[in-house]
Each structure stands twice: as structure tokens, then as C-alpha cells.
Chains A and B, each alone.
Chain A
Amino acid sequence: MPVYLDLIPVTTQAGRDCNTQATLVPQTPVDHFGGVQTVLTKQRAVVMRQGQLATVTWTMVDPQGRPVDLSGCGIVDSDSSSESEEATTIVLKLVEAVGRCTIQTVTGYSADPTSGAVRAELPAEIFTVPGIYLAEFALANNDADDSIVFSNQFFLVIESGLFGGTLSGPPSLAEVRLHLRDFPEENFLIDTVDFDDAELALMLTRPIQYWNEVPPPIRSYTTQSFPYRYIWLEGCASELCFLAAEHYRRNRLMHSAGGTAVDDKNRELNYQQEGQRRLTEFRKLVAQKKQSLNLSACYGTFGSPYS
């Protein structure tokens, strides 16, 4: 009996230039009604790998998500040879998203002021330390104390890698997606990912916030230093399920016609229950870990130099 193999189309699409891989562009969020409409007002995230000497490219937008022409604020093309005194400067500030202690400041530039495009090269203090960072591009006034014209915030996710620093930091976004099997090709009904990069970044900070805020206050962590990855992933997955439940709770519309109903948004309870299951597990593990650390601190031993 002959065996027929399905033909796999050969793609002739050329690979992307390797030089562009170091230019980081945020993912544009899309809706969950087919994944075709962009959600311009949603916070975005830029994702990179630890050790990657990268340039962040960003388009400055207004609160409605529309690009802003920067040329009216004295921003000139970075290639321009004019030596005019600029009234404003493009500044990128970064801080770890949970601890929010040390703010790093980088001066940026604009490749195309009229389209709102700005850029900044990330400093080594940032790209060598994996974690979730809150980043903010601002059009800063040069003649005032740290005042700005306007700014845009986004998440910068530096994923842990084997190059350029310590092995720490959060689970990678790919790891979270793998954990939840969240891929457009496998999400049959929504044709897009269930959770975009910004949502993953935000929910990766939540378990650390919980750890830091729930008593007893034993050891405070950031996304750069939290060491318990299983607990972290479970906490993140739980928060993501609750996030999805919000969408389904808000958008369910029961409708029946011709004897058939399509109730594809009737998933709230599924997500809610799964989130609750993971949350219970997460909280139990956090409590056990804190008890363990507490007892260990209480009944710890001192080593003797004579033993």
C-alpha cells in the first residue's frame, strides 16, 4: 500500500538581516477577537536577551496611541549637521519594576522626529542584569529641573541567558508561553496569543510583589533576584488566568440563531477556576517557603572553629 506524504510548502522567504536583531522594537498589541485589530492604547513591552548590546527603537505616542511629531519641540534628525541649540532632549530612564531603587538614565536621539521615532542604546548596567524593568522615554526640557514635555512608559524585559552576566532573573517569556501552551497557531479560536509581551511582563512582577508584601517580611526580592522559579511561574500563570477571565467576563454575548449558538467567550469560569487552583498552590508554596526561611533563621547554628 503506497504511503502518501502531505506536501510541505517550501518557503523561500529570506532570513532577516542579523544586524537588525540588535534593534529592539515593541510588539504591537492586538485584540482577542481574531487578532486583527491593533490596540493602540495598551502598554507595550520590549524584550531582549541578557548580554545583548541593543538599541531600543520607540515611537512616541499620545494617550490615544497616535504617533507624535517631535519636530515642533526642537528635536532634530540625528543625522542633521545643524548645531542649533535644542530646547528639549530625548531621555530614556529605566528602573527595576518591583524594587524601583536605582534609576538609570540614557540620552536618546531621534532618527525621524516627524514620525515620533526615538532611539537609545542600553547601558551595560541594564543589559547584563536580567529582570523586568519599567522604562520611560521622555521629551525632557533642557532649561528646567527634570521636567518633561511628555513621556511614554513601557516594560523592558531582559531575559536570562548564558552570556553577559549572572544566571538570575525571571522565567523567559518563551518559557511562560511554553508552560501555558500559548501560541497563535494552537489557539484555534482567537488566532493570536492569549497573552502579549506586556501582559506577561506585568504578571511576572506580581508574584514578587506578593512575596514582598505578604507577612512575615522575610527577605525582599526584585525580579532580578527572586530565586524560586517554580513558585514564580505558578504565580505568574495564576495571574494570567485571572487576566484572561476579565476579558471573557466583559465580552460574553449569548446569541442564538437558526438553532445554533456560538458562545466562544464563555470561558470566564474555566480561567477563573484554573487561576484559583494555581493561586492556592502558589500561596501554599510561598507560606511553606517563608516558614522554612523563618525557622532556619530562628534555629540556625553557628559553626565552631574547633569542630
Chain B
Amino acid sequence: MAVSRDAVFDRITVDHLVLGGTRVAWSLRPGFVDPDPWYFQLQAGYAGTPDADDWEDVGEAGENTSYAIDDDRRLFGKSWDVAYRLVLSTPNGTYTSEAAHSYGLLPKRDWLIGREIVRQRKLLHRKYTGWEGWLLRRRQRGTTPDPTDLAVAVTDPLTGGIITTQVPETYGTEFEGGFFEPYATYFQLTEEQWGKPRTELGTKNPVQQRAETVAFPRVDHGDVFVHAGSDRRYAVHPLTVTSQHRGVPLILNCELRLIPSSDVVYQLTMPTA
């Protein structure tokens, strides 16, 4: 479900099929009057953010079409993270739609209700309680440095598990680049809980906070939220869906854990930095 309409695309629906044959349909805003021909290129990606570099073309661009079918199977685990978008090319320019997730196909009325719920929550976050910042979507796929080359390896050659988290090439993940481009968003955080538990490693000062955000784009365990006002960076931990409509998640709740300032994640540059 695409959260809202942009200036060009009205609504994009994704009728997802796991084994392939996903049907993506779209309509344009009535006021869009660019001259013909219109070429629609369907793209699929996993991060779901506009600037992510994992968007890939699905088939050839279609001329003056209103739907496309993705024959490829794109989901293999339990993470329902594939998203689709469209790139429209006309003689006047190129327009990219918002991402439409594969959460579920909603009839128009339910889509409008879901959109209104998301609008209300975004309003609350933007105007009152939200912390402005960036979401860093963690790469779940990509190129892993050669695990047999000890100079660059970040994963165990046998188990594939991460063996070092402080390498600036992977930023604590197993994939090069570590995270996708930042996406400007809001998280509503609860009051901080400060504690100083004494362990065998010494005194720790963990900061954990519950946080709420909307489910567009998708947020996953391991993503990072960067608070724009303080540059504090938080790791996203277990997520729960606090509001959904007919199976489509709309609002998420998660636990944010403050990442120590010595962590390599702080080397990621934010747009205004």
C-alpha cells in the first residue's frame, strides 16, 4: 500500500504472489497532463526508501500501460519486505512514485481508511511528539567481503556470522555499505530509562526507549534511527505492530537502544552533516 498520493501517481496497488506473478496496478492524478507517450518502468526493491540503491527494473518499460506483472519470485524468508515503485518517463520529464509495499491488497475504501490513520499519526509526530531524524535501512542483501581474506573479512567463513562490527566498510553489518541512504522521518520516543547495572565488564549505562513510527517505509530489526537534533543513533530492536488494517501494518512500536558514540555507525554521514 502506498501511503499517500504524490503529484503524479494517484494510487499503486500490489497484488502479491510469493511464487511470482505479482500484479502491480496504478492510476495517475487527474491533473497530470504531460504529452504522450508515457513509458512506465516497474521497479522492485527491498529497502523501500526513495534513495536506496537496490531498486531494479522489472522487465521492459511499457508504453501507456496501467499494470505490470512481476514473474520473479522475490521473497524467500519470513520478511515481507519487497516493495515496488514506478518510474514514469514522458517527453517533459521523469517521475518516480512512492514505494508500494507488499503488505496486502486493500479495496479503495480500506486504503483510504489506512491512509487517514497514517496521516493522523504522521501529523502527531510532525507537529507534537516526534523526533525528527533519519532512518537508516540496514542492508539485508548485497556483497559480503571475502570471508577467507583475513584483511577484509567481517564474517566467519564457515558459519557466515559477523565476527567484527567496527569496520567502516560494512558499518557493523555483513554487507558492503552497511546501510542504505538515509530517509528523513520521525520517531516518537518515550522517556529515556537510564540505568547503571554493574556487570563483570564494568559499569554500563544503557539507554533504552520505546518508540513509535509509521510503517512506511518498512522498519526492520537492525535498522538505525539518527536523531537530527543531537546526532544520537539508536539501533532498532524488536518491533510490534500496534495498528493494522485488514492485515496491513500501519503503525509500529519498537525498542530503540542508544548506540555508543564510539561505534562505527557514527561515521555514516547524514544529509545535513
Contacts and interface: CB of A to CB of B under 8 A. Distances in A.
B174 to A, nearest CB: 33
A34 B5 CA distance: 12
A67 B33 contact: yes
Contacts of B124: 260, 262
A180 interface: no
A258 B30 contact: no
Which secondary structure characterizes the binding site on chain A? loop
Interface residues of B, number: 19
Nearest to B253: A258
Contacts of B119: 33-34
Contacts of B121: 257, 262
Contacts, number: 46
A255 interface: yes
B6 to A, nearest CB: 9
Contacts of B30: 40, 64-66
A257 B242 contact: yes
A257 B5 contact: no
A258 B212 contact: yes
A264 B120 contact: yes
B127 A258 contact: no
Interface residues on A, range: 20 to 34
A189 B31 contact: no
Interface of A: 33-34, 37-38, 40, 64-67, 188-189, 251, 253, 255, 257-258, 260, 262-264
Interface of B: 5, 30-31, 33, 113, 116-117, 119-121, 123-124, 127, 212, 242-243, 250-251, 253
29 contacts: A33-B119, A34-B123, A38-B31, A40-B31, A64-B30, A65-B30, A66-B30, A66-B31, A66-B33, A188-B127, A189-B127, A253-B113, A253-B116, A253-B117, A255-B117, A255-B120, A255-B243, A257-B117, A257-B121, A257-B242, A257-B250, A257-B251, A258-B243, A258-B253, A260-B212, A262-B120, A263-B120, A264-B120, A264-B123
